[in-house]
Amino acid sequence: MKSKKVNLAVLVSGSGSNLVALIDAVKSGVIADGQISLVVSNKEDVYALQRAENAGVKAISIKRSGFSSDEEFDKKLVEKLREYKIELVLLAGYMRILTAPVLEAYRDRILNIHPSLLPEFGGLGMYGMRVHEAVIKAGVPVSGCTVHIVNEHVDGGPILAQAEVSILPGDTPASLAAKILREEHRLYPSTVQKFITGFDI
C-alpha cells in the first residue's frame, strides 16, 4: 500500500463506460492506491463529463478548435494535468492521438485500453466498432482487449495485460463489442492498480 494515493486523470471523448468502471473501482478498493483527480474531454456535452460530475470528480473540456495545432492543444492539456498534480494518465475512449508535449511530460505514465488483442487489429483508424467489424470479417476464433502503455506508435506501446473472449458463430460486431466491453471494465481497473503498485511514481 502506497503512503499516498496516486493522482489519476482520465481522458474521454464519449459516453464514459470505462470511466465509470474506473470510478467504481476506486470506490470499491480495486484501485486502492489511486484517486481520480481530473476527467478531461476534448468534446463538450459528452455523457462522460456528466458521469464524472455525478461521481463528484472534477471534469473539464478543452476544445481542439481553440488551438492552432495539435501540439498547442496538448500543451494546454499538460498545463491542466500539472495544475491538478496528475501522476498517471488513463485514456478511456479518448479519440485523439497524443502528441509530443503529453508523451514527453508523461513518458511511461499514460495507459490505454484497446478493444482487440494487440498487436492484431490496432493502429491508425482502428477504433470503436471498426475494430470489431474487422475482427468478425477476418474470421478469427478469439478477440479481446489490451491495456498498454502509450507511446509515439499508435496502439504500439508495451502491453501490460490482455483478456480474451471467444467469437461464436452468431456473433456480430455489436455482440462482440458488448462481450469485450465487459472484459474491459474488469481488466482496466485491475491493471491500473497493478501498474501503480509496481511503478515508482
Known catalytic membership, residue 132: no
Helices (H) and strands (E) in the chain, counts: 6, 7
DSSP-H helix ranges across the chain: 17-28, 47-54, 70-83, 100-105, 129-138, 173-198
CA distance 176 to 144: 9
Environment class of residue 134 by beta-carbon count within 10 Å: exposed (0-12), middle (13-18) or buried (19+)?
Answer: middle
CA 65, 70, 93, 144 torsion-angle sign: positive
CA distance 105 to 107: 6
- Annotated catalytic residue within 114, 132, 148, 185: 114
The three cell numbers locating residue 53: 460530475
Single-letter amino acid, residue 80: K
Point out the residues that are catalytic: 114
